[in-house]
Every structure is written in structure tokens, then in C-alpha cells.
């Protein structure tokens, strides 16, 4: 298969497997999604989804969040890890949203990336999943699979995002990045992959990857 054929194969197979792509993190609006994504750094979505209802019961908007003390936020989000850093960022970004954006989350990558605790990936998730703007957030699953499938050199997530945006049609970025994540979790984890399970990698992947990571 040519690279174009491989790209089309991936798109078709992922659409067959995952015709619907619900956002994994529980949220009700752009602000609660922003907080959930921030908390998901080095933490599973499942754990975040157990903690955010507790936090959002106390504060689900920046005006209520700044009324909480940082220590109170930290105690609630502790199970998500990095709680000292994350609690401070949540409190600070909530203040900024109030003072600079009238309490609203900006629909702009650059503005979002200026907020404490918000990197490019978090900002990309928010504009994609909260506002429907085309973006291709690259997490560990996407970075891993893009390399396994021979679509990027695996150098870094910046290069992986550039390659993904170059190869895949812009109109499907928002859905496709979730489909790749779902496939990575279910069929092609970092370790313990089996040939009969990870059929896309077997069909189009790098031979070196298949030989190294996939057991018979």
C-alpha cells in the first residue's frame, strides 16, 4: 500500500470501529472541560471523572472556584496527582478568566496557552471538543500509533502533530484523534500487544515495530 492507501485504510477502519466518539472527560461547558483536561495530565480519564463531580459540586465556574482556597482545591484533586501544581493553576487561571475574559473560556489556542497549567495539548483539546474548532491534540496513544503506523518519525509530539495534520483531512481531525485514542487503548497499548488484536498495525505498520512490540 502507498502511504495514501494506508491513511485511507486507517480512516475507514477507525470509522467502522468507532462511528461515535463521545468525549471521554465528563464536562458541561468549556470551563469544566478545561479543568478536567488540566487534571488529566499524568492521570487516567477514569480517575478524573471520579474527582471532577466532587470538585464541580463546589465550583463549576471560575467565579465560584476563586472563592475556594487553593488548599481546598488541592485536597479534592489529590487523587489525580500533581495536586500542588494543578490546584494553584486552577485557582490562578480562574482569576485570569474573570479579569480578562469576563469569566468565559476563550476560543483561541494562543489565549488558552497563556493560562497557567495549560499547554498546547490541553488548549487543542478545549478548542476541539468544546468549540468544534479543527485541532489535532496529540497524546501518548496518538504519538505511539502514528509512529507504529509509519506516519511520523516519532521524534516528538510537535512533529507528530504536524504529520497528522498533513496526512489527514482537516474536517475529520476532531473525530479522528479520539478514534485513534480509543483504538490505542483497546487494540494497541504500549505493552503486551498481540497480532490478532492490533490488526491495523499488522496490516500497515513498520516491520521493525511489529517484530519488536507485537507478540506471536
pLDDT of 212 reads 72
Catalytic residue among 86, 121, 163, 198: 121
CATH 1.10.1670.10, the chain: domain bounds: 3-20+137-215
pLDDT band at 215, cuts 50/70/90?
A: low
Q: Is 163 a catalytic residue?
A: no
Tell me the whole-structure pTM to 2 decimals: 0.92
Structural class in CATH, domain 3-20+137-215: mainly alpha
Give the tens place of pLDDT for each residue, 160-203. Answer: 999 999 999 999 999 999 999 999 999 999 887 777 799 999 99
Instruction: Choose, from 139, 162, 165, 175, the residue flagged as catalytic.
Output: 139
Task: Considering only CA atoms, give the Rg of the chain.
Answer: 19
CATH class of 30-129: mainly alpha
Taking only the tens place, the pLDDT of each residue in 114-138 is: 999 999 999 999 999 999 999 999 9
User: Would you call 45 a catalytic residue per the annotation?
Assistant: no
Residue 91 near residue 68, CB atoms below 8 Å = yes
Q: CATH 1.10.340.30 occupies which residues in the chain?
A: 30-129
- Residue 63: band (very low, low, confident or very high) from pLDDT cuts 50, 70, 90: very high
Residue 216 has pLDDT above 80, yes or no: no
Residue 155's contacts (CB-CB under 8 Å, 6 or more residues apart) are none
User: For residues 155 and 122, what is the distance between their CA atoms, to the nearest angstrom?
Assistant: 20
Amino acid at each position: 500500500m502507498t502511504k495514501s492507501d494506508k491513511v485511507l485504510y486507517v480512516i475507514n477502519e477507525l470509522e467502522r470501529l468507532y462511528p461515535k466518539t463521545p468525549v471521554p472527560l465528563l464536562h458541561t461547558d468549556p470551563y469544566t472541560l478545561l479543568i478536567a483536561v488540566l487534571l488529566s495530565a499524568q492521570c487516567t480519564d477514569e480517575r478524573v471523572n471520579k474527582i471532577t463531580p466532587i470538585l464541580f459540586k463546589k465550583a463549576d465556574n471560575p467565579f465560584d472556584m476563586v472563592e475556594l482556597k487553593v488548599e481546598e482545591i488541592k485536597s479534592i484533586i489529590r487523587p489525580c496527582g500533581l495536586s500542588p501544581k494543578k490546584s494553584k493553576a486552577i485557582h490562578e487561571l480562574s482569576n485570569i478568566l474573570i479579569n480578562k475574559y469576563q469569566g468565559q473560556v476563550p476560543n483561541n489556542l494562543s489565549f488558552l496557552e497563556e493560562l497557567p497549567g495549560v499547554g498546547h495539548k490541553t488548549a487543542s483539546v478545549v478548542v476541539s471538543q468544546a468549540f468544534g474548532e479543527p485541532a489535532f491534540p496529540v497524546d501518548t496513544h496518538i504519538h505511539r500509533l502514528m509512529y507504529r503506523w509509519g506516519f511520523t518519525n516519532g521524534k516528538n509530539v510537535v512533529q507528530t502533530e504536524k504529520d497528522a495534520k498533513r496526512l489527514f483531512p482537516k474536517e475529520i481531525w476532531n473525530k479522528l484523534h479520539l478514534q485513534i485514542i480509543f483504538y490505542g487503548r483497546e487494540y494497541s497499548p504500549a505493552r503486551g500487544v498481540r497480532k490478532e488484536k492490533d490488526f491495523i498495525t499488522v496490516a500497515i505498520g513498520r516491520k521493525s515495530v511489529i517484530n519488536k512490540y507485537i507478540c506471536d
